[in-house]
Each structure stands twice: as structure tokens, then as C-alpha cells.
């Protein structure tokens, strides 16, 4: 459940946000929503995959942290074990709202990150915005703009039949079996068959680099499986 309200410096003048990373702060999630402009930062750490949207027609892009619901293999005793934390995680507990042409900032008051005594202040004593809130505003805008551009990118992938479903069967070091299903990835064989005209159009649209970043990010499955092995060994 959430309790999302419009942020303002009167009702929320004492609001603080806990920025440390951990399961207790809502970070125990399997994936985060992303978009092509973020792929360059993500591809060094996380597999980038796609899944059908709720409407069953479109697709969403995800940075993957684990293999089952509630599993984030990047969380450890010292926080988040990667130099880059996806923007959809960084922005919590804030959300962006759209009121006509106006973008507004909302906050989930039931988020475990919200506090009156600990963490980063959102507003200055006289009511102005803190540097922290300015950073969050920039983060929310980047997410909004990225998600606005995402449907055209997905349409280009579908036009060239570049998305394929996959199933990943994993055997851990102790012999236990795991399966990841319900996701899609870039079809590398199909990508390799695209002619020069198709590649040129993808490049001019600004999509080709993101496509190759998503392909490169799939190599992170090996490291993710190793994280799973270490976590599983620690539970025994």
C-alpha cells in the first residue's frame, strides 16, 4: 500500500528521506523499470530484459537484480553492491505527476524511507528546496523523459522483430534448480541479419547504441548467477 500526496513545503517542511540502501528501506525488489537512455549506465552491472506490459501489447524495460520476487542480489551488509543504482530506485519515495502540461512531485508518505528525524532534509528551514530535492527533481525528470521516449524505441524493436522470449534454467553449485521465465531479450541472430538500411534508420533514430548496450548487458547473467550462488551458500 502507498499514501501518495502532492509534495509541498507547508505540510512536509520537516520531511526527511533515508538514503541508505537495504531491504528495510524497500530495496528488496527483483527489478527496476528503466529506459534506453539509462542503458549505458546499467549495462556494466545488470542484465537488461523486457517484459509484456499490463495491457499485453506494449513492453517494459527492466534492470534485473535477482531471479525471484523480492530478491535483490545487489543488497549486502554494506548497502547496494554496485557503483550505479538505477534511477527508478534512486527516486524513491518520490513520484512524478502530470497535470496537463505541468509536472508535479509527489511523495509516498508510507514509504520506509520517509522520516521526520533521520536522513536528508527535503526543505530548508525557510521553505526553500534543498540540494537533495533538486537532485530528486532532476532524477524524476530524467525518468519521465526516458519513459516518454520508450514506446517509440519498443515500436522500432517490434518492427524489426528484435525481441524474443527466453527461458533461463540455472543450476546452482549445490545442485538446486532455478528458472527465469516470462521475459524477453534482443534477438542477436535477427540483429545480425538486418541490412544496412535498417541499421542506418535505427542509428539515425538514436536506437542502435541502446540495442547493443542491451545485448552486452546479457553477459551480466553470469555475475548474477554467481551472486545467487553466494547468497544461497550463505543461507545454508
Instruction: Find, among 206, 203, 224, the residue nearest to 48 by Cα.
Output: 224
Quick one: pLDDT at residue 174?
A: 85
Cα–Cα distance between 96 and 234 in angstroms, integer? 39
Please tell me the distance from the alpha carbon of residue 46 to that of residue 88, in angstroms, as a whole number.
14
Q: Is the pLDDT confidence value at 113 over 90? A: yes
pLDDT per position as a tens digit, 131-142: 999 999 999 999
Listed residue (16, 40, 81, 55) closest to 212, CA to CA: 40
Q: Residue 213 is placed in which grid cell?
A: 548496450
Across all residues in the chain, what is the average pLDDT? 94
Contacts of residue 181, defined as CB under 8 A and 6 or more positions apart, other chains included, come to 167, 168
> Is residue 57 pLDDT above 80, yes or no?
no
Q: In the prediction, which pLDDT does 235 show? A: 62
**Residue 170: CB atoms within 10 Å:** 15
Of 196, 185, 20, the residue nearest 119 (C-alpha): 20
59-68 pLDDT, tens digit each: 999 999 999 9
Give the mean model confidence (pLDDT) for residues 167-189: 92
CA distance 110 to 124: 22
Q: Which of 236, 235, 233, 231 is nearest to 73 (CA)?
A: 231
Q: How far is CA 232 from CA 29, 64, 75, 210, 226, in A?
A: 17, 18, 14, 33, 10
Residue 185 predicted with pLDDT over 80? yes
Q: With bands split at pLDDT 50, 70 and 90, how would you rate the model's confidence at 76?
A: confident
Longest dimension (CA), the chain: 61
Q: 71-88 burial, b for 16+ CB within 10 Å, e for fewer?
A: bbbbbeeeebeeebbbbb
- Is this model's pTM higher than 0.85 or not? yes
Could you read off the pLDDT of 118-158 as tens digits, one per residue? 999 999 988 899 999 999 999 999 999 999 999 999 999 99
pLDDT above 90 covers what percent of the chain? 83
Whether residue 139 contacts residue 90, with contact meaning beta carbons closer than 8 Å, is answered with yes
pLDDT confidence band for 1 (50 / 70 / 90)? low
Determine the average pLDDT of the residues in 190-210. Answer: 96
Q: Are 96 and 141 in contact (CB under 8 A)?
A: yes
Amino acid at each position: 500500500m502507498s499514501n501518495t500526496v502532492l509534495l509541498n513545503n507547508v505540510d512536509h517542511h520537516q520531511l526527511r528521506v533515508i538514503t541508505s540502501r537495504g531491504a528495510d528501506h524497500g530495496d528488496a525488489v527483483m527489478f527496476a523499470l528503466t529506459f534506453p537512455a539509462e542503458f549505458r549506465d546499467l549495462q556494466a552491472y545488470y542484465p537488461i530484459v523486457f517484459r509484456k506490459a499490463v495491457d499485453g501489447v506494449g513492453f517494459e524495460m527492466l534492470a534485473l537484480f535477482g531471479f525471484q520476487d523480492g530478491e535483490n542480489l545487489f543488497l549486502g551488509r554494506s548497502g547496494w553492491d554496485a557503483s550505479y543504482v538505477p534511477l527508478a530506485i534512486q527516486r524513491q519515495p518520490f513520484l512524478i505527476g502530470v497535470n496537463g502540461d505541468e509536472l508535479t512531485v509527489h511523495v509516498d508518505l508510507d514509504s520506509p524511507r520517509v522520516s521526520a528525524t533521520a536522513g536528508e532534509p527535503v526543505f530548508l528551514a525557510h521553505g526553500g528546496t534543498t540540494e537533495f530535492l533538486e537532485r530528486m527533481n532532476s532524477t524524476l525528470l530524467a525518468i519521465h523523459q526516458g519513459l516518454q521516449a520508450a514506446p517509440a524505441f519498443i515500436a522500432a524493436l517490434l518492427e524489426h522483430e528484435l525481441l524474443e522470449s527466453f527461458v533461463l534454467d540455472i543450476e546452482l553449485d549445490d545442485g538446486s534448480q532455478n528458472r527465469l521465465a516470462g521475459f524477453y531479450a534482443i534477438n542477436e541472430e535477427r540483429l545480425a541479419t538486418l541490412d544496412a538500411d535498417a541499421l542506418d534508420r535505427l542509428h539515425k533514430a538514436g536506437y542502435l547504441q541502446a540495442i547493443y548496450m542491451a545485448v552486452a548487458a546479457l553477459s551480466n547473467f553470469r555475475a548474477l548467477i554467481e551472486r545467487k550462488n553466494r547468497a544461497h551458500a550463505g543461507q545454508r
